[in-house]
Structure 1
Amino acid sequence: MTDIRKLQVQGVHHITLTGADRQTSIDFWEGTLGMPFIFEQPNLDSPGENHLYFDPGDGRLITIFTNEDRTPDRRRTPTDPGCVHHLAFAVSEATFAQAETRLKARGIGYTGPKDRGFMDSIYFKDPLGFLIELACYRFTPPEGCRHADVMIRAHRLRVERGDHHIDRVHLADAIEALVEERHASLSADRSARNPY
């Protein structure tokens, strides 16, 4: 019998997309989404292509294979099984509040904002027809927790209560439970009380 073990991942290292020409990629990823253009070299697996690297803000990378013989095609990229449907990027509430105005100023069509219960989203296509989402969480995790910690707890509460989707009440109750579990208190009774 074979000893089967997981290949445990620890996060996204980078995502690579096939782009058109170099300048279109720079204009979109840096000039529209604000990702610093940090590195460039030939595509080591395909000599006719260039490989551009952008920093999406969390220290990981978005990379683009470019070729000066390719031109942008704004038709929607395929969504067949096995294809990437869209990429979602985290933005602050301040940036999200400006997203519609800034997309309109560029003449970029969009869908949203959409209420996702635990976050707000707005969608638009890049110059090659690839769907991009700007996502803004509606909560800040308690100290020492990650967004995923709050999400799994909120999901469990939603399922227990028979609710359709995660909403603000599940997030608030999840955060309260995580604080109670992970942060000590001198009080013997930490239940909700009314001091008035």
Structure 2
Amino acid sequence: MQKLQVQGVHHITLTGADRQTSIDFWQGTLGMPFVFEQPNLDTPGENHLYFDPGDGRLITVFTHEARKPDPSPTPRGAGNLHHLAFNVSAATFAQAVERLAARGITHSGVRDRGFMDSIYFRDPLGLLIELACYRFEPPAGFSHADVLREAHLIRVARNAHAIAPPHLADAIERLVARRHGAGAEDDTAN
């Protein structure tokens, strides 16, 4: 049986409260340009707002003026969304704690994830948001996923608990060697 091969995230749609709450958070706090809005074509009375998270894809929000923000954490059962993570530059990440605090937004502080750093906080509707900043740049012609896949193989071979900076450095070295046609005999990353 053949797969339905996806080629990336097209968009993510969330159920929001009123229009202004969504604009204030997605554009005002996270800096996502407000692209356009139109009616929700499936539910009369709802509006559909579109935001650009920075990569040309879309985050969209269904809004209704009768819905009020509820900051209670969203459900954490099977099938529920745990959190949304957004990539930020190192320069932005370095200012995130200060900028969230200036807006009165409670956050987790910086969390070390081995291959990235993270900060978590909740949106006005209780959805957990993560700002993530990779600790590496992939070599030309490769993606972050390529480096992480290779780092994972190295981590497993070394019986390490989680991906750490040495695994990333060795993964990048392997990928660069592979790009330049180096054979397996030149691969000393294990």
| TM-score, structure 1 as length reference | 0.92
Aligned length: 186
Aligned to 2:32: 35
Q: Does 1:47 align with 2:41?
A: no
Q: Distance in 2 between matches of 1:82 and 1:173?
A: 36
Q: Extract unaligned runs of 5+ from structure 2.
A: none
Deviations 1:12-34 (A, max 9, x none): 00000000000000000000000
Aligned to 2:97: 100
Aligned to 1:58: 55
Matches within 5 A, 1:5-84: 5-84=2-81
| Matched residue SS, 2:111 | strand
Matches within 5 A, 1:120-159: 120-159=117-156
Aligned to 1:177: 174
Decide which structure has the larger Cα Rg and report it: 1
Matched residue type, 1:13? H
Matched residue type, 1:32? T
Shift of 1:5: 1.5
Q: Distance in 2 between matches of 1:86 and 1:183?
A: 39
Q: Extract unaligned runs of 5+ from structure 1.
A: none
Q: Distance in 2 between matches of 1:65 and 1:41?
A: 10
Q: Does 1:109 align with 2:106?
A: yes
Question: What percentage of aligned pairs have identical amino acids?
Answer: 71
The structure 1 segments of at least 4 consecutive aligned residues displaced by more than 4 Å after TM superposition are: 189-192
Q: Distance in 2 between matches of 1:190 and 1:126?
A: 49
Matched residue type, 2:145? A
Give the alignment's Cα RMSD to 1 decimal: 1.4
* 1:12–1:191 Cα change, 3 Å: closer
Q: Distance in 2 between matches of 1:10 and 1:66?
A: 28
Deviations 1:67-109 (A, max 9, x none): 0000000000111100000000000000000000000000000
Q: Does 1:160 align with 2:157?
A: yes
| TM-score, structure 2 as length reference | 0.95
Deviations 1:125-170 (A, max 9, x none): 0000000000000000000000010000000000000000000000
